[in-house]
Amino acid sequence: MQKKSTEVLVIGGGVTGCGVLFDLAQRGFKATLLERGALSMGTSGRFHGLLHSGGRYAVNDPDAAHECIVENQILRKVMPHCIEDTGGMFVSTPDDPPEFADEFYQACHKVSIPATEISIEEMLRREPLLNPKIRRVFTVPDASVETWDACRSLVVSAAEHGAETLEFHEVTELLKEGNKVVGAVAINKVTGETVTITADLIVSAVGAWGGRLAAMADCDVTVHAGKGTMIAMNYRMVNTVVNRCVHPSGSDGDIIVPIGTVAVIGTTSVRVDDPDNYPIEEWEVKLMMEEGEKMVPSFRKFRALRAWAGVRPLYQEKGAASDLRAVTRKYALLDHSPRDGVDNFVTITGGKWTTYRMMAEDTVDLVCKKLDTTRACRTAETTLHNPHGESKYHTLGSRLQKLETGEFDGQLICECEIVTRNQIEANLATNDRHIINDLRRDLRVGMGPCQGGFCTYRVAGLMHKNKQLTTQQTNKALVDFLQERWKGMNTVLWGQHLRQMQLDEGIYMGVLGLDKLPPGLSGIDEKRVAEVETEGYYEVS
């Protein structure tokens, strides 16, 4: 058993936990973060990538809306390399209540969101594929964010101040002495090693899992897990975030976010009992496709790449909410000493990705108070570490430009997302895990229209050579990645996408024979390989 000590232990490696870690480290605390998977593997990595202007909440939750617009402007300054300045539109379609448009416009200005009405002609000039029957359009400062870059920048910036981040470490126990939480026990899910970390104070930043972690400290915390389902389309049919101008309390599939090379439509809002188990239902996929047509009439002509879902952490002090959309998107900061009689333990939950920095600032202010010290927050003025050295917005064509100018040199491995051999080998040199999904998060390998069909076996070969893996290790890394990709694709198997999947099946089953490897060699559970209907597609997820 490995033993460590720190001043403040942060549990949860989503954007909130990473933000808390950076704020702590910058204020001079010795801080450590535990995350049970990779950074941003939970809710922070399973949303549509929107940097909110706050417009969505202006009418029904003005406090949350104001928080969003304030933090929107700050994040543009401190992490521009993680943001694409797409801008946003709120559009009133023929299916939307016309009276809501004026209510929305007035509510935006009350909370200082710069909403501007433009003509339908100007809308179509900017976004030709939008529905020409749209009646009114308002522009707002929405944007899209790259969550993996943001979380990595936060922990690297924290490390520059002495902080430590332990990924793939799952907390199995909170240690208590009397009414005080004094540390945690975690297991390294890669090596199986157990680590015990003692701390002066523990911060829970695990989102929808907050109730489970609080229970380890004998605290009662209610965090509703609200599932939201999204679909990535193979074409970026809009370059602006497009929102339906409707009341958010009763709307699904009302936003399209251009992020990277794709467009994402979302979301549903469904209560789930287990934040680790929330299958995507057929009606959710069907609804997303239908609602997309109302904003972009040609929406169904594009190919659905994959569907996925994330769970929103919706905090409610007491009782159960009948409508999850009615639960506030404001965050909750809980000091368990006066609340539950348990000291040295703090929970931060709820909120939005956009408000993570504000949430972290308030959390660390409370940490300072509990540890009887005064240290000023500087995260609103500090530009985060950027491995590319450029403090400017990300743009869609930047990767192609770097390839054409020679900045990205070497053999092209992932054509869809423009990732070269040199980039992959540089990443492998600094990562001791054998997980292709790490390359997806860091470099976007396998996230394009072929969903890894043409690049995954190349990446596995590079990993095998550069890390000198055994055949079994390489096969397992390959199959694990394909299982994750195919898991999201098997809910949208129709038309051209089904043909793409049959091609991928031909590559990996017909040519490489992954389904014919000896049991235990590939990582495939033979009992879970099942033929799906009569289409010749085999599900290995």
Q: Got the DSSP string for 269-281?
A: -EEES-TT--PPP
Compute CA 512 distance to the chain's CA centroid, rounded to the nearest angstrom: 32
Helix/strand/coil for 202:
strand
The arithmetic mean of pLDDT across residues 38-64, rounded, is: 94
pLDDT, residue 486, reads 85
Task: Supply the pLDDT for residue 73.
Answer: 98
Closest to 23 (Cα-Cα) out of 146, 157, 145: 157
pLDDT at residue 529 greater than cutoff 50? no
pLDDT tens profile 57-105 = 999 999 999 999 999 999 999 999 999 999 999 999 999 999 999 999 9
What is the band of 154 on the pLDDT scale with cuts at 50, 70, 90?
A: very high
For the chain, residues classed under CATH 3.30.9.10 are 82-142+224-315
DSSP-assigned letters across all residues of 113-176: ---EEE-HHHHHHH-TTS-TT--EEEEE--EEE-HHHHHHHHHHHHHTTT-EEE-SEEEEEEEE
Euclidean distance between CA atoms 467 and 481, whole angstroms:
17
Report which of residues 450 and 163 the model is more confident about.
Answer: 163
Cα–Cα distance list, 73 to 123, 305, 322, 385, 391 (Å):
24, 32, 34, 18, 15
Q: Residue 427 has which token pair?
A: 């990443």
Q: Which CATH superfamily is domain 82-142+224-315 in?
A: D-Amino Acid Oxidase, subunit A, domain 2 (3.30.9.10)
Provide CB contacts within 8 A for 350, sequence distance 6+.
223, 313, 314, 315, 328, 329, 330, 331, 332
In whole angstroms, give the CA distance from residue 528 to residue 538: 10
Question: Could you report the per-residue pLDDT of 183-224, keeping only the tens digit for each?
Answer: 999 999 989 999 999 999 999 999 999 999 999 999 999 998
Tell me the pLDDT band of 500, cut-offs 50, 70 and 90. Answer: confident
Which residues have a Cβ under 8 Å from the Cβ of 36 and sit 6 or more positions away?
Answer: 13, 168, 169, 170, 171, 189
Decide: residue 372, CB within 10 A, 0-12 exposed, 13-18 middle, 19+ buried: exposed
Q: Which of 356, 311, 353, 362 is nearest to 333 (CA)?
A: 362
pLDDT at residue 250, as a whole number: 66
pLDDT tier at 323 (50, 70, 90 boundaries)?
Answer: low
Q: Lowest mean pLDDT: which of 7-21, 329-343, 387-401, 449-463?
A: 387-401
pLDDT above 70: percentage of residues in the chain = 93
Q: How confident is the model at residue 387 (pLDDT cuts 50, 70, 90)?
A: confident
Task: Tell me: pLDDT of 329 over 70.
Answer: no
